[in-house]
Structure 1
Amino acid sequence: MTEAKTILLVEDEIESGEMLANFLELKDYSVLWAQEGKKALELIEDKAHEIDLAILDIMVPNHDGKEICRHIRQHPVLADIPVLFLTAKDEEVDEIEGLNLGADDYIKKPASLNLIKARIESQLRRMNPEKAHWLKYDHVYLDTETNQMFINEELIDLTHTEYLIAELFFKHPKLVYSRAEILEHITDEEKYIFDRTVDVHIKNLRIKMKEEEKLIKTYRGVGYGFNREYLKR
């Protein structure tokens, strides 16, 4: 069975938002509905790894749809997802501005539910396959294709060795590794490197992760690993 796609819906009109959310859920989509911009940005931060497509009303309180679209396009995980503007505005200049911000489609209200569904399906067919190369815990993202770490939207400048250690912990969060095991993972022919070198790499990794260094835990007498307290988050 195919996993349900998740749609971020930003719509401040309760009747319209409820009708569209219920319709999409009946069509086997999962819907995250925000009625104002601040809530939408919170959902983006907390649920980024789940969101497959966004439908944004331009005229919503706090942060409007254009600002939310701009935020999505700058996000390390969501930058490539389809974004549809759904709005009562019908001025050509608004449509052009929305598309210039990175929106993929522009649907004018009132629009039939089936039309919106068709536009959603069209955009999802154009999406890249699964975002399986992303690993996420809290606000930390690892892109296993490019070997990069992001915290929120900031690219963290890791050395190759620091990235390998982070990826090891993120891929196997229930395991604890000794220094020798970590050393074997991060070295090739250079087996002469002292295992205390691992301590230095992990110290530097924690410094670069700042407050998110809490995700890496020292297990005294054993070694290092992912902090299991964050596995359920």
Structure 2
Amino acid sequence: MNAGRNILLVEDELESGEMLSNFLELNDFNIMWAKDGKEAFSIIEDKANEIDLAILDIMVPYHDGKEICKMIREHPVIQDIPVLFLTARDEEVDEIEGLNIGADDYIKKPASLNLIKAHVESQLRRVKPEKAHWLKYDQVYLDTETHQMFINEKPIDLTHTEYIIAEMFFKHPKLVYSRKEILEHISDEEKFIFDRTVDVHIKNLRLKMKDEGKLIKTYRGIGYGFNREYLDS
């Protein structure tokens, strides 16, 4: 039941973190363990589309659990995932504040490993695990359900045709398309369009993507496609 479910664990106590991480992995979860706030931010930036749930200790170095929770709730890909606070702090005001900034559950230490697992499974039963509609390269995300692009978590205002072209490249990053093939792909979106119209759409798409426009490459004499230099980045 838990296979393939990915958990971001943020815990700076090595013994506690190792015990919980190992226990959850034995129960078929995949664990991304961050030992401080910087590492948590890095995992979110690089692997947001893989995270199904977060367990956050409030008192961790650099960025505390509340800051990490706030980042999650503002992120377009993982803003709806369950967030559990796991902390030794026992003040009601902390629990209320944590719930108010977006936590779904609050577990006080010390807590048994089985109790934590039960809370995790309870939260995961309420959400869909599927994130297949997200595509990501570098800091660019495409939501193929809503036809939106996000760069560094901010929505980019694309025309429908610009989005369709971007999705075409992102879905098939190893292919290079001629102008004719791109025209055929977008012909249902626009009527009476010409070869050079593709160039205009590509130019406008790159301009709106700013620095991330580097992901779309002109292959001279062939056409356009994804910049293969970034496939493994």
Question: TM-score of the superposition, structure 1-length normalised?
Answer: 0.96
Q: Deviations over 1:12-39 (max 9, x none)?
A: 1111111111111111111111111111
Aligned partners of 1:151 and 1:22: how far apart in 2? 34
Amino acid of the residue matched to residue 104 of structure 1?
D
Q: Which residue of 1 aligns with 2:207?
A: 207
Q: Which residue of 2 aligns with 1:228?
A: 228
2:107 counterpart SS class:
strand
Instruction: For structure 1, list consecutive stretches of 5 or more residues without a partner in the other structure.
Output: none
1:143 aligns with 2:143: yes
Q: Which residue of 2 aligns with 1:83?
A: 83
1:51 to 1:129, Cα distance in 2 relative to 1, 3 A: closer
1:16 aligns with 2:42: no
2:52 counterpart SS class:
strand
Contact 2:50-2:131 within 8 A present in 1 as well:
no
Identity %: 80
Question: TM-score of the superposition, structure 2-length normalised?
Answer: 0.96
Amino acid of the residue matched to residue 119 of structure 2?
R
Aligned partners of 1:232 and 1:189: how far apart in 2? 32
Aligned partners of 1:21 and 1:211: how far apart in 2? 37
Instruction: For structure 2, list consecutive stretches of 5 or more residues without a partner in the other structure.
Output: none
Aligned partners of 2:100 and 2:114: how far apart in 1? 26
Amino acid of the residue matched to residue 205 of structure 1?
L
1:61 aligns with 2:64: no
Displaced runs of 4 or more, over 4 A: none
Q: Deviations over 1:29-52 (max 9, x none)?
A: 111111111111001101111111
Amino acid of the residue matched to residue 140 of structure 1?
V
Question: Cα offset for 1:187?
Answer: 2.3
Aligned partners of 2:116 and 2:144: how far apart in 1? 34
Aligned partners of 1:208 and 1:60: how far apart in 2? 37
Amino acid of the residue matched to residue 188 of structure 1?
D
Amino acid of the residue matched to residue 156 of structure 1?
I
1:196 counterpart SS class:
helix
Q: Which residue of 1 aligns with 2:49?
A: 49
Question: Cα offset for 1:128?
Answer: 2.1
Q: Which residue of 2 aligns with 1:171?
A: 171
Equivalent residue runs for 1:100-111 within 5 Å: 100-111=100-111
Question: Cα offset for 1:191?
Answer: 4.5
Q: Which residue of 2 aligns with 1:216?
A: 216
Question: Cα offset for 1:172?
Answer: 1.2
Aligned partners of 1:199 and 1:8: how far apart in 2? 42
Q: Root-mean-square deviation (CA), in Å? A: 1.4
Amino acid of the residue matched to residue 139 of structure 1?
Q
Q: Deviations over 1:172-218 (max 9, x none)?
A: 11111111111121122855311101001101100111111111111
Aligned partners of 1:3 and 1:136: how far apart in 2? 22
2:169 counterpart SS class:
helix
Amino acid of the residue matched to residue 58 of structure 1?
I
Question: Cα offset for 1:129?
Answer: 3.9
1:162 to 1:190, Cα distance in 2 relative to 1, 3 A: closer
